A = this chain, B = another copy of it.
Amino acid sequence: MVFNINNFFDDKNRKSKIADFQDLDHIDGVSISTVNAYLYDQKRDDLVLFYFRDGASYASVFTQSNIVSENIKWNQKIKSKKISALLINTRNANALTGSNGFIAIKELANDLSIKLTEKQKLDEEHPKEIKSNEILFASTGTIGEKFPLNKIKNKIPNLINNIKYTQNKLIWMKAAMGIITTDTKPKIAMSECKIGSTNIKIYGIAKGSGMIHPNMATTLGFVFTDATLSSSILQKTLNESIKNTFNAVSCDGDTSTNDMVSIFSTNKVNNPNIKNFKDSKLKNFRQSLNDVLLNLAKRIAADGEGASKFIIIKCKNTKTKEDAKNICFSIANSPLVKTAIAGEDPNWGRIAMAIGKSNANIDQKKLSINIGPFKVLVNGTVYQNYDEKILIEYMQNDLIDITVDIGLGKKDFTAYTMDLTKKYIEINADYRT
């Protein structure tokens, strides 16, 4: 990667604070433990445990694929409103592993629940029993390979021994590093906000597109807050924010069997009680959560496999939101658009092609396209002062802005993606050897 993604993320409209990693510290009620289970033959830790000693409220969204991994199946069955732990493994997706894959998760959940209950007895004044159905699992890696149950199970004692009740920026970084596959950078975002007059922290980590021992671009995102919020409020805020953040990102149009974004609140901070999602006291938290998720989502796009440029595609004035979204993703997923941008070629005809094939409602005579601040197409005709030289210069930027005006309505959508380079082919054409 040739560019500093941090330059792109200081949105003007943002009200809350997206801090540097330096500001990361402790979120009360969250414990992090990482270990190298040698799932990869690498030096970094590749197995990560989040432990909530007093439990956490919780909400999640999962992959929309019709083929889902065994751990996602496990998570979807969890009915408990209180979550005690989240275990994340890399290298193996536990997808299409059949009943053995599911049984492995069950065994890990049982083992973790027993060992965490023992830890409760040792450490807590009022120890609780940790149940296996309070434990979530996230997996990313190759589909269809045998799940490395023993490698992971053997490391559970170490993971539990490593648990500390106060976290610092180093352990957040280790966790963010511990969940990545071919990502070139760990992805962390944080925000501080208020519910009523109470200060609240929101920290998030994510992994995006890529793998080393080649697999697919599983998206994982985990957000932690010390706010006191119910699971149902968390679910509503997550549902609200996911649309314009994680669901607005595309690297290659492919969808994993393992995608999962979750939020956990430890209820450690005594903020005003929020019973209604629309309570005005929640507004700042909703905005801040959106900031954190958007920041993570942008980092995923910017670190998409082989990316040399970050691309923001805005479609406005469509009749329906669906149309705006379809147009954005038709452009974002077009290999011809993405290769042109990689080649720094302002070949806007390909953008028009992608709009045309999107099936959205279009009137060619009302269609306008801007690349960066420059008009290229105005009401279906090439801009009268169109100057390709200026466009060629603009295309050399690391951040490319494409704005499409459909001129038929009032809806809009913004999507985030990256260019398509030879490096993408290199990463993904490699043998799994």
Complex: A97 Cα to B380 Cα, angstroms: 8
Which of A356, A422, A432: most chain B CB closer than 10 A?
A356
Is B340 a contact of A65 with CB atoms below 8 Å? no
B-side contacts of A380, CB under 8 Å: 96, 98
* A334 at the binding interface (Cβ < 8 Å): yes
**Is the C-beta of A424 less than 8 angstroms from some C-beta in chain B?**
yes
Q: Which listed residue, B96, B145, B336, B357, touches A65 by the CB 8 Å rule?
A: B357
Whether A349 sits at the interface, judged by CB under 8 Å, is yes
The 0/1 profile, CB within 8 Å of B marked 1, for residues 136-159 of chain A is 000000111100000000000000
Residue A343 interfacial (CB < 8 Å): yes
Q: Does A348 contact B (CB under 8 A)?
A: yes
B429, A342: Cβ atoms under 8 Å?
yes
Tell me how far the C-beta of A5 lies from the nearest C-beta in chain B, rounded to whole angstroms: 22
Q: Which of B66, B348, B425 contacts A420 (CB 8 A)?
A: B425
- The reply on A35 being an interface residue by CB < 8 A is no
In the complex the two chains form, is A98's CB within 8 Å of B382's CB?
A: yes
Which B residues touch A300, using CB under 8 A?
none
A353 touching B254, Cβ below 8 Å: yes
B425 close to A349 (CB less than 8 A): no
Tell me the complex Cα distance, A128–B148, Å.
80
Interface residues of A in 381-431 (CB under 8 A from B): 381-382, 392, 420-422, 424-426, 428-431
- Contacts of A355 on B, CB cut-off 8 Å? 66-67
Whether A377 sits at the interface, judged by CB under 8 Å, is: yes
Confirm or deny: A205 has a beta carbon within 8 angstroms of a beta carbon on chain B. no
Q: Which of A97, A255, A353 has the most CB of B within 10 A?
A: A353
Decide if A350 touches B424 in the complex (CB within 8 Å).
Answer: no
Which of these binds chain B: A109-117, A169-177, A183-191, A359-367?
A359-367
For A96, A142, A424, the residue with the greatest tally of chain B CB atoms inside 10 Å of its CB is: A96
- The verdict on A134 contacting chain B, using a C-beta distance below 8 Å, is no
Q: Does A263 contact B (CB under 8 A)?
A: no
Chain B residues within 8 Å of A143, by CB: 348-350, 352-353
- Pick out which of these stretches binds chain B: A41-49, A209-217, A268-276, A284-292: A209-217
A308 vs B405: C-alpha distance when bound (angstroms): 39
Q: Least Cβ distance of A18 to chain B in Å?
A: 31
User: What 7 A-B pairs come out closest when comparing CB atoms?
Assistant: A143-B349, A343-B429, A67-B356, A65-B356, A339-B428, A255-B357, A98-B381
